[in-house]
């Protein structure tokens, strides 16, 4: 039921420095940037930067896998029946379940896309939000 990788989010200690590195050095495409984060892409991969305390256990770094909306509820029920460990409640656009793998790597099962997230930014009030063409 999983369809592939949805996005990668990295916790960064200095957004401007990380934004410059990924856009100007590695060649990622910038889509949006605000006080505490940025949305980029490389090829078909949606890539997020999120300011956070960079800590191997307590930050927001995670890998997100894509799932169709019609499969989401059934798959979440299956995972919860398997007693997966959850690490976060969803607070953003789209349905998401945040769980830990056996080695405590952070995983997200997500319905949505970079385009749906960018659309939701227009409905929110993110401080210092900028869009890039």
Q: In CATH, what number is assigned to the domain containing residue 6?
A: 3.10.180.10
Residue 40 backbone phi and psi in degrees, to 5: -130, 175
CB neighbours of 62 closer than 8 A, spacing ≥ 6?
Answer: 8, 9, 98, 105, 106, 107, 108
Q: What domain range includes position 17?
A: 2-131
Predicted confidence (pLDDT) per residue in 57-113, tens digit? 678 888 888 899 999 999 999 999 999 999 988 878 889 999 888 767 888 899 998
Report whether pLDDT(39) > 80.
Answer: yes
| pLDDT for residue 110 | 92
Q: What is the DSSP string of 42-65?
A: ETTEEEEEEE----TTTS--EEEE
What's the whole-model pTM score?
0.68
Q: CB atoms < 10 A from the CB of 107, how many?
A: 17
Total number of domains constituting the chain: 1
pLDDT at 55 over 80: no
């Amino acid at each position: 039921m999983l369809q592939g990788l949805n996005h990668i989010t990295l916790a960064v200690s200095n957004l401007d420095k990380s934004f410059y590195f990924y856009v100007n050095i590695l060649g990622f495409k910038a889509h949006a940037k605000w006080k505490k984060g940025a949305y980029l892409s490389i090829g078909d991969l949606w890539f997020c930067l999120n300011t956070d305390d960079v800590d191997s256990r307590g930050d927001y770094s995670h890998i997100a896998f894509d799932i169709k909306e019609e499969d989401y509820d059934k798959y979440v029920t299956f995972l919860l029946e398997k007693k997966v460990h959850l690490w976060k409640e969803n607070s953003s656009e789209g349905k998401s379940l945040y769980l830990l793998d056996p080695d405590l790597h952070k995983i997200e099962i997500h319905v949505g896309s970079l385009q749906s997230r960018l659309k939701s930014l227009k409905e929110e009030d993110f401080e210092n939000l900028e869009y890039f063409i």
